[in-house]
Structure 1
Amino acid sequence: MAKLTEKDILSWNGPEEDYMNPDHLEFFRELLLKNKAELLANASQTSQNLQEQEATPDPADRATLEEEYALELRTRDRERKLLMKIESTLRKIDDASYGYCEDTGEPIGLGRLLARPTASLSLEAQERRERMKKQYAD
């Protein structure tokens, strides 16, 4: 069978027992690996940019540059955390637990996974957690 596309994933309406079949798993593995490669390329670019940092005598320019670098480093830190989540998600594909909610064991849904391939909770479980978190924060 040919590789699945995003359109194939969104239009899939097969039987429940065919959810997360080998074609689905392969589609999401490739999507995650592509995301991982993009994040690693961004990290490499950031490293290169920081090494090329020029000293500037003007305090205003220096402050602007430092702020830009701080923002870039915060972004890379978020991406580093996402990389760890991608690695964890790839392990779930390997052990066939990918696509199922960690809280309920129910299917997360192909649409949700397409929007957020690292999702580990169904939409309902995610909303429930957020409501509980908000409840305890108030």
Structure 2
Amino acid sequence: MGKVNLDHFKELLLEKRQQILNGGLLNSTEDLHISTDDLADEADLAQSVINQQVTFNMRNRERAKLRQIEAALERIEDKTYGLCEDCDDPIGQKRLTNQPWTTLCITHAEERERELGHFHSVG
């Protein structure tokens, strides 16, 4: 991949990282506390627990994406960015534009999805 493309994707990754860090989701703790008013009503308590679970899931996804972005930035530095980790073929520009942290070409990404789908449907 040429230097111009690498610079473009590096900027894109840095922008995505900044969006996550500035989004406040990783730092907010407001919805993680259960109000003593909610303890008296089971429905309110249940809703608070559901809200907490949703927030935990969103935070986990954002943290995972942040780790993927950091790993992609490291691949840019070590000159392996844009290569599929399974076959070492270049990952398509459109795929990298849509998901700049990806490590798989579309063929291998679809293969993994099928494997995971099969695994989940069996279990």
TM-score range, shorter chain: 0.7 to 0.9
> How far did residue 132 of structure 1 move?
4.6
Amino acid at match of 2:12: L
Instruction: Please provide the CA RMSD for this pair.
Output: 2.2
Amino acid at match of 1:108: I
Amino acid at match of 1:65: S
State the match for 2:9 in structure 1. Answer: 28
Name the SS of the counterpart of 1:104 in structure 2.
coil
State the match for 2:35 in structure 1. Answer: 54
Uncovered stretches (5+) of structure 2, i.e. residues with no partner: none
Going from structure 1 to structure 2, the CA distance change for 1:35 and 1:55 (only over 3 Å counts) comes to: farther
| Whole-angstrom CA distance in 1 between matches of 2:117 and 2:59 | 27
Going from structure 1 to structure 2, the CA distance change for 1:36 and 1:128 (only over 3 Å counts) comes to: same
Aligned identity (percent) is 33
| Whole-angstrom CA distance in 2 between matches of 1:79 and 1:106 | 28
Uncovered stretches (5+) of structure 1, i.e. residues with no partner: 1-19
Q: Normalization by structure 1: what TM-score?
A: 0.72
Q: Normalization by structure 2: what TM-score?
A: 0.80
State the match for 1:108 in structure 2. Answer: 91
Amino acid at match of 1:39: I
| Whole-angstrom CA distance in 1 between matches of 2:57 and 2:109 | 25
Name the SS of the counterpart of 1:118 in structure 2.
coil
Do structure 1's residue 119 and structure 2's residue 102 form an aligned pair?
A: yes
Pick one of 91, 104, 107 that aligns with 2:74: 91
Name the SS of the counterpart of 1:99 in structure 2.
coil
Going from structure 1 to structure 2, the CA distance change for 1:36 and 1:134 (only over 3 Å counts) comes to: same
Given that 1:55 and 1:62 are in contact with CA atoms closer than 8 Å, whether structure 2 keeps it comes out as no
Amino acid at match of 1:43: L
